[in-house]
Structure 1
Amino acid sequence: MMKFGKNRKSWAIILAILCSFSVLTACSGGTSGGPAGTASTNETNGKSEDGKVVLNYWTWWGSETRRPIVEKLVDDFNKSQDKIIVKHSYYPFSDIFTKELAAVSAGNPPDIMMNDINTVQQRASKKQAINLSKYVEQSKVKDRFFPELWNTVLYQGEPYALPFNTDTRMMFYNKDDFKAAGLDPEKFPTTWEELDKVAAKLDKKDGDKYTHIGYSPQFNSDWNLLQLNFDQGRNFFDENGKPVVNAPAKAEAMQYILDNAKRLGQSNIDAFKADFGSKQANPFIAGKVSIWTDVTNFYTQIRDYGQNLNFGVAPLPENKPDSGHYSVGGGFVIEIPYGSKHPDEAFEFLKYMTDVQAQTYWAQKNFDNVANKEASNNPELQKNPVYKASVDNLAVTKMTPNPLFAPDYINLINPQRDAIMLGEKSVQDGLNQAQADVEKLISNNK
């Protein structure tokens, strides 16, 4: 430990370091970083010292992988024109949304915000995001997006954000395991019934203990995914907004999970789940599970940690032949928070971030599915068979925006799901209770 005492030279060095640090901190804007965060200083009333409009852009992408990509796109935009400067600020995922709402309420929001795709209606209805209708009509940007994604940004038929990226769940499977079990590695099961038979051939046991599991829907997927797949792409609400939590197909999906747990033994499944940890220890990558459900950018973990893993990717099975290989997607939108002082300039950045060049770059670097159709079908991206499969799978991928009248409905469904899984309730009793709880929530909100 350094002792300060009478050593004036040491004090001088320390004071110099502290002063340098204070200057750097002041210039960085606190949460901003890199070239995007230091693009302009001394701005007044949203203008830089050379008269450019300064826009504040908030995201939670602060990892070593994603933050440089975010800031490269910001820097590219800043260099693409001479009227606007965008400054990127990073805030932790756990804080950014409440921080943004507080800023909107205080009348001092960021100019641009990356936000959740499933909650656009909530923000639009509460005047937390700007109506983009006039900008969309002028710029004709609607046709650049996948229709399923475009529908998520509409409130009362008008857009309040632009889709940015999305994902889709597919089945990853170990081809070498298929070969060893005498199965065709190029032929993945097309129905859940077929999958059951295949999975049983892939299981390995040492006495009563499983050393290898072919497949369990409790591994990185659950009833919330399967219920939509079993029900021909319908989520927990019908086309009229009526809850259908206890529909027969939902009960079938839950029973499928219970039957799988009965065959394998819940204790065996739990023992495998207890070992889930780092990416290197993922049970599929580690060779302990043959079939794994995940978003398709799971491929990047296989690429980085799955030493020579011989794998394939396929759509989710369907409940019955020709009922549909439906999957679920999520994602994010880019929007202008209500109260932004420069919405015209902010929309220029929204256009840039959702155009072909920026979207292609994002997809190449992150292996995300992007909202721009042309970028998604970029020939270089399509050379990767997993990426091509993911884009193809978007045709059967359903988005599940939170209903305006029941934004927290899933918090009423999940406890009943858990009670069923624990054997505390029958499938039908649990789903009937969840149905009643969601109906009550809707009634209270209306």
Structure 2
Amino acid sequence: MNGNEAIEWIHQQLKFGIRPGLDRVHQLLERLEHPEKELKLIHVGGTNGKGSTVTYLRNLLQRHGFKVGTFTSPYIERFEERISINGYPIDQKQLASYVEQVKPICEQLSDTELGAPTEFEIITVISLMHFKKENVDFGIMEVGLGGRLDSTNVITPILSLITSIGMDHTNILGDTIEEISYEKAGIIKQEIPIVTNVYQREALDVIESKAKRKNAPLYQLRNDYNYQVNNYSGWGESFDFLSEDKCLHNLELSMKGNHQIENATLALFALMLISNKEKFKLIDEEIKKGLFQSQWPGRLEVVHDQPKIILDGAHNYEAMTQMVSAIKSQWPPDKVTILLSVIKNKPIDEMVNYLKQNFPKITLTPFDFSTSYEYNELYQNFQKSHTRVIKDWQTVIEQFIENESNDNILIVTGSLYFVSQVRAYVLQHK
């Protein structure tokens, strides 16, 4: 089996859909002699900011000399990046070798009452196999969906993080903040420290209650660590990090948005807890370098200059408010054009209305994905509100590059799958 065949087989398991539960993953790991039990793992859950937080923490640990594995989703450029070590995606030959080990076990399980493992369950297990084989110092596991029943929740980490909580995947996780928080708090383990950026009182009540029941030390933004935003002239952010044990001034990020400061402070406080537990010394200069060198594709990412095209995978309402705040801090609304595409089960009416309150030029488009809205659906739903709907997003990109002046910008946003396709197209045609 080669790498492409391995990826094709993994994708074929999508037919088994999303089936929350941990039994199939436990069975896979047991038959593979539990690779997860020999690893120091950090678990990262939440609604928005997981990917960026993983990137900050990975770079911070790496700058201190550690070998760090990361398991993230979805991918932006290629499938293999979901399982990476020190930022380098898994080699296709390695991936194929793991698939050859896992495939017969999956076939055995498909004949039991548990049924066949899903795609996400399989790649969760492969990531743990890879981290063990490559002898990483730390592995950072990003929750795929929810937390309590997510396949990554089979691990016992040394530390758990919850980034932020918002209304997303409500058809699966529940339609209130309390219900969603219950699922996210499901990653809290007995006596394992938990750090969170969550600010809503109703969400914190759920997290605090679960942490108390599990006797898990809980650390919160604004209670145990905080930040002060500084003026910054470049594309990015500058801030001071504040905690009882450590204060760092004029830290710089190359990613834009106040939410990125919150993600970075979460990662930095997590690093402090890890250094205390693992007994290694923090180096201020390496912290500064680790934060500044952190990049996460598709998050307020500039992919074209003159005129500017910026990509941001704001795939839910909360993420969209963060994006709008960051853009308006940099440009006047009349200079901004929004190109939006979202998948079904997202609050598209709410998202479009919010964008229209902030920017005069909004264009909706379908894209090549199984759950994307069709052109006719978008046209029928939004023609009354005089929202522009275009069949072919490539035409929007080309016309913007050819016709717009250099002081105008195009923001491409919505589904990360859409952003990924646009990113490949723009970079290929640059």
- TM-score above 0.5, yes or no: no
TM-score by length of 2: 0.29
TM-score by length of 1: 0.28
